[in-house]
Amino acid sequence: MLIRVRYKDGRIDLIPSQQLNELIVMNEIEQFERSAGWVVVGEDPVRSTLRGRYVGPERRR
């Protein structure tokens, strides 16, 4: 499946869905398109299996 992405320099491209997480983690893209519209990386909720573990105080009890 191909996903439309917008790079930080404004270019728009179609990439394989397997590549999306890598580009998000590498901070290469500014937005990507879902069926509901454009997602802004860093503002909208984004899942990523490549993200590092949470670093901070334990909030669960």
Model confidence, pTM: 0.71
Question: Taking residues 10-19, what's their average pLDDT?
Answer: 95
Q: Is residue 23 part of a domain?
A: yes
Residue written as tokens 């069926």? 35
**24 in any annotated domain:** yes
Whether residue 53 lies inside any domain: the answer is no
Q: Which domain holds residue 6?
A: 2-40
Which pairs with CB-CB distance under 8 Å and at least 24 residues apart come from 12-15? none
Summarize pLDDT for 15-57 with one digit per residue, the tens: 999 999 899 989 999 999 999 999 999 888 876 555 556 667 7
* Distance, CA of 2 to CA of 37 (rounded, Å): 15
Cα 41 from Cα 28, distance rounded (Å): 10
Question: How many separate domains does the chain show?
Answer: 1
With respect to residue 35, please indicate whether it lies within any of the assigned structural domains: yes
Measured from the Cβ of residue 45, the count of other Cβ atoms closer than 10 Å reads: 5
Read off φ and ψ for residue 36, nearest 5 degrees: -85, -5
